[in-house]
Structure 1
Amino acid sequence: MIWYTALVLAVGAERVAELAVARRTARWSFARGAVEHGRGHYPVMVALHTALLLGCLAEVRLADRPFTPPLGWTMLAAVVAAQALRWWCIRTLGPRWNTRVLVVPGLPLVEGGPYRLLRHPNYVAVVAEGVALPLVHGAWITALVFTLLNAALLTVRVRCENRALGVAGPGTTAAGAMPPGLNP
């Protein structure tokens, strides 16, 4: 359990790093006239992603979930892959990345990096991590509850981003808006 606690805390520290990046990039965006969209769902997103971390630790401890090596190691690899994808998104968007939906008028959509392959690659990372992190140590209830609640939240979030960016059709890439950082 100690190593799993360390893993969950490391993911939490990664979230804090994302928030620091988001603060810096928000200053850049607002200095260029950014408009924020979707403020109403942002606190829900922060609460849900915080609850994921707490739920992982609580369920493993309270329900005495075992570590099952084949599942645990596979899910750990998925967590690492999700982090790599998330930071690829952050690097690709550069100063345009944020945990909030900030759109700088006049900037074109980003179509490089993972955005050349997927419309919302950061959300792929969020979904993968939301399933994998709890399942590293058998916290299946946390994985299930987070996945269901996150699906509802992502429906709102993706619609918000697409509206904010004026993205209409399947051939376009919604990258100018920022993926969730507590992605927290």
Structure 2
Amino acid sequence: MTSLTAFTVVVALVALERLAELVVSRRNAAWSMRQGGRETGQGHYRFMVVLHSGLLIAMLVEAYVLRRSDVAAELAWSMLALVIAAQVLRWWCITALGRRWNTRVIVVPGLAPVTTGPYRLFSHPNYVAVVIEGVALPLIHGAWITALVFTIVNAGLLTVRIRVENEALAGLPAAGAA
């Protein structure tokens, strides 16, 4: 198997993981809405979907068009390890949030913010996973242009997204409150 074929398989596996996330997200979003949840931040959501889908496509286009053959094996393996670590962190976040995790900003009134799992260590750990993956996944095959452009554009998106989430969570009771 060539390194380009292996890279394509890795990207396809990440795409399948994203589809699994969407299944979980839709189920959880429906639960949140049934509990009286309120969605905010719809304005940036479509852009986020396009950006994240574009990441998967752009890195493959870059890899196939530029056909870099000089990617060091050490770089590829270390970036793959970071991608795996990002997936572990992402699913730890999903597990910690349980039914409240989804890809939208839906807050159920009266439920305190989650402070378990990675959320006891720092705010917005899922976005740490997104940032790591956005750099590491393209660099598995030296798609540095995609990694750079995604990182810059995603930084702007995360600025908006985190502000929207913080504003939505501000009205919730403190953690530990009944």
Give the CA deviation at 1:105. 0.1
Question: Counterpart in 1 of 2:142?
Answer: 138
Larger radius of gyration: 2
2: distance between equivalents of 1:123 and 1:81? 13
Partner SS for 2:60: helix
Q: What is the count of residue pairs matched by the alignment?
A: 169
TM-score normalised to the size of structure 2? 0.93
Could you say what secondary structure the match of 1:99 adopts? Answer: coil
Match of 1:52 in 2: 55
Q: Pick the aligned partner of 1:32 from 31, 35, 56.
A: 35
Alignment correspondent of 2:121 = 117
Name which of 106, 111, 125 aligns with 1:107.
Answer: 111
2:168 to 164, 170, 176: 164
Out of 59-68 and 146-155, give the one that drifted further.
59-68
- The code of the aligned residue for 2:42 comes to R
Q: 1:123: how far off?
A: 0.2
Distance, in Å, in 2 between the alignment partners of 1:109 and 1:76 is 32
Q: Calculate percent identity across the aligned residue pairs.
A: 60
- Please tell me whether residue 128 in structure 1 is matched to residue 132 in structure 2: yes
Residue 17 of structure 2 corresponds to which residue in structure 1?
14
Instruction: Say what the alpha-carbon RMSD is for the aligned residues.
Output: 1.2
Q: Greater helix percent: which structure? A: 2
Q: How many Å separate the matches in 2 of 1:106 and 1:68? A: 51
Measure how far apart 1:70 and its partner are. 1.1
| 5+ residue gaps, structure 1 | 174-184
Shift of 1:64: 1.1
1:65 partnered with 2:68: yes
Alpha-carbon distance between aligned partners in 1 of 2:42 and 2:137, rounded to the nearest angstrom:
27
Residues 91-102 of structure 1 mapped to structure 2, 5 A cutoff: 91-102=95-106
Runs of 4+ in 1 over 6 A off after TM superposition: none
Unaligned runs of 5+ in 2: none
